[in-house]
Amino acid sequence: MGSPSELLHYLITWNTSPFPLLCTAVELSLAAWYVEAMRQLQRKGRIWPVKRLVAFLAGLAAVAVALQSSVSIYVMYVFPDHIAQHLLLMIVAPTLLALSAPVTLLLQWADRDLRRRILRLLKSSVLHYLTFPLVVFCLYYVIMWVFFLTPLIKIAMDHMWFMDILNVVFLAGGIIFWWPIVGLDDIHHWKPNFGGKFFSLVIGIPLESFLGIILSSTSRPLDPAYSPHSWYVGGQVLWGAQDVLTVAALLILFLQWIKSDERAARRADAGAIGDGAGVATRGGVPHEWHWIERTLASVPPGSELYDQAMALMLRLESELPHPAGKPEPDLIPGLVPQPPTQPSTHPPMAPGSSTPAVTAPSAQS
């Protein structure tokens, strides 16, 4: 790729084999669904941040570059392209997709029956064990060492159908690693605090850097398809690029930590609901339902308090039996199309508290 024409050919060449074409169809379908779900929420008077849409489309674009662009072609001959493919699938794409909160959008877009099925899947024992920290550690960190330092890389390169399967595994490993760390969806079986999140990222810096050093210092590539120089450069790319990406992720996590502390302080000052709201009832209906209905009817859609009420409603709907006298979930304000209401002069009260809940500003997390 020394001349401009070669560079242009590299940029415009796309892989048209069956697996990349299948990936293209899936990516376009997911992008169309996300845009349509966002528009449906807007028609119901709810606001979905545009920055989440941008993150979702960018995440899909990262997957497309890794699996469908010329990167997926040159990966057979140029080791730095192989490293770039792994970084896109295991760091860039999962982080962007996690920041787009697609599961939260799916739960708000789905009807009642579909929402219950999704929640059952999210709480299934399969996901419980699959997202166990030790399993996640192996799928994210250990698998990279095994792939690059054993004959597995040559086997995969000799059988591209196996390489395609491994790429899906790499993407899945990245998703279950990054979702609990930077993701905005509250769906995790194992919820690390911010100290655990920082530790998960920091511990990976020496692990991945040392892998890059080993690859760079290996005089004989484990796959003869790569030249020694290409193998060396690929190791250098892994060493440097993963450090840069990890520092960027640490910055994102630090900003989320600051916002989380600010939200916790506002909830404490307002006496708002915490993470472990009780199930006290009034007239046979949990207090939380009354608070949810008043909040959704009185605060602007898209505000922080509005999002808290929606999240609590989805959780209660999945955990509590349908109480007598309570309206069907689809009739609760915010789940049916209705024009936005003006904020009430009487602010909603947090359940179990005599202190009015303070309406949060419209900024999204």
Kindly state whether residue 7 falls inside one of the protein's structural domains: no
Q: What is the pLDDT of residues 261-303, one digit of tens each?
A: 777 776 665 554 444 444 444 444 455 666 776 677 666 666 6
Residues 153 and 232 in one domain: yes
pLDDT in tens, 22-62: 999 999 999 999 999 999 998 888 888 999 999 999 999 99
Q: What's residue 256's pLDDT? A: 87
5: in domain? no
Does residue 95 share a domain with residue 241? yes
CA distance 32 to 333: 27
216 lies in the same domain as 343: no
pLDDT at 303: 66
One domain for residues 65 and 151:
yes
Task: Give the separation between CA 108 and CA 226, rounded to whole angstroms.
Answer: 48
Q: Are residues 253 and 316 in the same domain?
A: no
Together in a domain, 232 and 312: no
Phi, psi dihedrals of residue 356, rounded to the nearest 5° = -65, 140
- Domain boundary residue, one of 238, 266, 294: 266
- Residue 192 belongs to some domain of the structure: yes
Does 322 lie in the same domain as 225? no
Are 182 and 328 in a shared domain? Answer: no
At 315 the pLDDT is 67
pLDDT band at 316 (very low <50, low <70, confident <90, very high): low
Using left for φ > 0, alpha for ψ between -120 and 50, and beta otherwise, residue 101 falls in: left
Domain's final residue, options 210, 236, 266? 266
Q: Are residues 61 and 186 in the same domain?
A: yes
Could you tell me the residue range of the domain that residue 349 belongs to?
A: 281-365
Work out the percent of the chain whose per-residue pLDDT is above 90.
Answer: 34
The encoded tokens of residue 42 equal: 């807007």
**Range with lowest mean pLDDT among 9-13, 142-146, 316-320:** 316-320
Is 304 domain-assigned?
yes
Residue 96 pLDDT exceeds 60: yes
Q: Is residue 273 part of a domain?
A: no
Residues 213 and 340 in one domain: no
- Please give the pLDDT value at position 45: 82
Q: What is the pLDDT of residue 297?
A: 66
71 vs 220: CA distance, rounded Å: 23
Q: What is the mean pLDDT of the chain?
A: 79
CB of 67 closer than 8 Å to CB of 14: no
Is pLDDT larger for residue 13 or for residue 95?
95
Residue 6 is assigned to a structural domain of this protein: no
Which tokens belong to 106? 């799916």
Residue 166 has pLDDT above 90, yes or no: yes
Neighbours of 132 (CB within 10 A): 14
Is 37 part of any domain? Answer: yes
Strand partners, 200: none
**Helix or strand or coil: residue 204?**
helix
Summarize pLDDT for 325-353 with one digit per residue, the tens.
444 444 333 343 344 444 444 455 544 44
Total number of domains constituting the chain: 2
**pLDDT tens string 100-135:** 999 999 988 988 888 888 888 888 888 888 888 888
Per-residue CA distances from 246 to 90, 149, 252 (Å): 11, 22, 10
d(CA 319, CA 107): 15
Query: Is residue 66 within 8 Å of 72, Cβ to Cβ?
Result: yes
Half-sphere exposure of 122 (CA within 13 A, CB side): 20
What was the pLDDT predicted at 318? 58
* Same domain, yes or no: 262 and 333: no
- 295-313: average pLDDT: 69
Q: Could you give the 3-state DSSP secondary structure of residue 14?
A: strand
Domain end (from 220, 237, 266):
266
Please check the confidence at residue 186 and state whether its pLDDT lies above 80: no
**Mean pLDDT, residues 223-246 taken together:** 90
Are the C-beta atoms of residues 170 and 163 closer than 8 Å to each other? no
Taking 80 as the threshold, does the pLDDT of residue 204 lie above it?
A: yes
326 found inside a domain? yes
pLDDT tops 90 at residue 66: yes
| Tokens read off for 174 | 């990245």
- Indicate whether 80 and 152 sit together in one domain: yes
